[in-house]
Structure 1
Amino acid sequence: MINSLTKPQLILLHGWGGSKNSLAELSSKLEEKYVCHVLEMPGHGTTPSMDFPWEMRNYATWLDKYLKSNMIEEYTLLGHSFGGKIILEAVTSGILKPNEIILIDSNGIKPKNSLKKNIFKFLSTIFNPLLNSDIGQLIKKFVYRFIIREVDYAKTSGMIRESFKIFNEQHYDSKLQNISIPTIIIWGKDDKVTPLWMGKKLNEGIKNSKLFVIDGTHGVPLKSPNEVAEIILNNTK
């Protein structure tokens, strides 16, 4: 048992559309090794929304402010899905320098279906009046969810949706070589939201990383917290 006074600090970031409850079970299993901080993003759960559309740097700055306000200097970052994308922004931009990184089904790699998105955007400019109608909104949600497969966009609204449109165009494929921090990558082999090839690309691009593929889809930290926790506890310092 690690003394609570000497436990390392672990910052956990949930995925888009989640809340601090999303990673609650996983964090409880990691508390034998870490002091866990389960953060909740603005506009998620019970946390008020932001006053203006955020891009990735705003999320990284928000995380930096939390660490500074709590005087946390030595820490490990864990991010699921969009939470992982925040970590990629914070680390590649030099805003944060964690001791270790844990990415679970992380966002941040440019999807292969960008052509579909470009076609839809082009058609949107032509048929904009229709898309702004009630029927048009239903069509748009269907396209994003089942054709473009942007489920996160389909279930957002207001300022959160505006933020999504901004940062959804930000990717880190060309910046991965800037990460030299020890990184654990955990992926559900049947993930359809962020497919396994994205996890492999993160592993190939981050020089000091290890990839662990487990049974499951995009929600492995929620549905398989025991297995995810075991990987983390056995492969981090």
Structure 2
Amino acid sequence: MEYPIKEEGRFKYIETGSKGENLILLHGLFGALSNFEGIISHFGKDYNVVVPLLPIFELPIRKVSVTGLVDYVVDFVEHKGYGKVNVLGNSLGGHITLLYALAQPDKVNSIILTGSSGLFESAMGTSFPKRGDYDFIKKKTEATFYNPEVATKALVDEVFDIVNDRNKAIRVIATAKSAVRHNLGDKLHQIQAPTLLVWGRDDQVTPAFVGEKFHELIEHSKLIFIEQCGHAPMMEYPEAFNQHLGDFLLEVNNA
């Protein structure tokens, strides 16, 4: 079942509308709804799965930063009137999840991070991709995954379009630089919500040692590695990912 994108004021999002616990999914810098299809279809009946479309390309340039995106999530949750939420973030979305949990600890029931930035990330190597270089974008997108076939043409086209839109490219660079500046190593001890870390063993963007460091610094955390898997386990191994996520949510909500 496909869920329509809702628009309410400055907020765009999808919501399954189920009566269960709220599960908010936060996408990464090049993320899209398609990244979370497996989670939405699997959990949409039992949980109120919500995916706000982060305004990475809509924020005024002076507000383009991870903190600007966190403010957006704070305002969105308040707008929707949710109580406690379970928040899942991939890549940049994980970074935003952590900053949200630090800013609004009373609103967070649990945290799920997969390939999260916030400690170390190497998204594009040492250079931003050249505009118009489709093969370069294709290789970089494929490198996100252990199995390059997961990088469909539609996904590559989406990244290519972002890179070749000057306004979007500027915002990508500004957001990425902001993420690097907002290293969370000295703040993670403040996180008290139960936290699940699901990491691809072969993640090239936020390597395995990053997951281990998050596990070390977040007190109530559990770390799971998925073998032969890259930066987006929920896309590369949706069944295994959903099994781990489902077990964790049941444990948290029955505690």
TM norm. shorter chain > 0.5: yes
Instruction: Give the distance between the partners of 2:172 and 2:59, measured in 1 at CA.
Output: 8
- Does residue 84 of structure 2 align to residue 74 of structure 1? yes
Query: Which residue of 196, 211, 215 corresponds with 1:184?
Result: 196
- Where structure 1 has 5 or more consecutive residues not aligned to the other structure, the ranges are 121-134
Instruction: Give the distance between the partners of 1:84 and 1:105, measured in 2 at CA.
Output: 7
- Does residue 117 of structure 2 align to residue 104 of structure 1? no
Provide the residue aligned with 1:232 in structure 2: 245
Larger radius of gyration: 1
- Does residue 169 of structure 2 align to residue 157 of structure 1? yes
Instruction: Give the distance between the partners of 2:177 and 2:18, measured in 1 at CA.
Output: 42
Alignment of 1:1-150 (within 5 A): 6-43=19-56, 49-53=58-62, 54-94=64-104, 97-110=107-120
**Residue 14 and residue 162 in structure 1: after superposition, are their counterparts in 2 closer, same or farther (change >3 A)?**
same
Aligned pair count reads 203
Q: Is the 8 A contact 2:18 2:48 kept in 1?
A: no
One-letter amino acid of the structure 2 residue matched with residue 210 of structure 1 = K
Instruction: Give the distance between the partners of 1:165 and 1:228, measured in 2 at CA.
Output: 29
Q: Which aligned runs of 4 or more in structure 1 are off by greater than 6 angstroms? A: none
Provide Cα deviations, 1:27-67, integer angstroms capped at 9, x if missing partner.
Answer: 21122431100122114xxxx52112422221111001111
Provide the residue aligned with 2:187 in structure 1: 175
Instruction: Give the distance between the partners of 2:90 and 2:207, measured in 1 at CA.
Output: 14
One-letter amino acid of the structure 2 residue matched with residue 230 of structure 1 = Q
Instruction: Give the distance between the partners of 1:159 and 1:15, measured in 2 at CA.
Output: 13
Q: Is the 8 A contact 1:12 1:36 kept in 2?
A: yes
Q: Is the 8 A contact 1:185 1:199 kept in 2?
A: yes
**Residue 55 and residue 172 in structure 1: after superposition, are their counterparts in 2 closer, same or farther (change >3 A)?**
same
One-letter amino acid of the structure 1 residue matched with residue 66 of structure 2 = M
Provide Cα deviations, 1:138-164, integer angstroms capped at 9, x if missing partner.
Answer: 8xx99xx7xxx9xx9x94612332232
Instruction: Give the distance between the partners of 1:63 and 1:55, measured in 2 at CA.
Output: 13
**Residue 175 and residue 62 in structure 1: after superposition, are their counterparts in 2 closer, same or farther (change >3 A)?**
same
What secondary structure is seen at the aligned counterpart in 2 of 1:23?
helix
Tell me by how many angstroms 1:96 deviates.
6.3
Q: Is the 8 A contact 2:201 2:226 kept in 1?
A: yes
Q: Report the TM-score, using the length of structure 1 for normalisation.
A: 0.75
Q: Is the 8 A contact 1:110 1:173 kept in 2?
A: no
One-letter amino acid of the structure 2 residue matched with residue 205 of structure 1 = L
Tell me by how many angstroms 1:6 deviates.
4.3
Q: Is the 8 A contact 1:33 1:233 kept in 2?
A: no
Instruction: Give the distance between the partners of 1:8 and 1:235, measured in 2 at CA.
Output: 13
Provide the residue aligned with 2:156 in structure 1: none
The alignment-based identity, stated in percent, is: 24
Instruction: Give the distance between the partners of 2:233 and 2:29, measured in 1 at CA.
Output: 15
Tell me by how many angstroms 1:111 deviates.
5.2
Instruction: Give the distance between the partners of 1:163 and 1:80, measured in 2 at CA.
Output: 15
Tell me by how many angstroms 1:171 deviates.
0.8
Provide the residue aligned with 2:211 in structure 1: 199
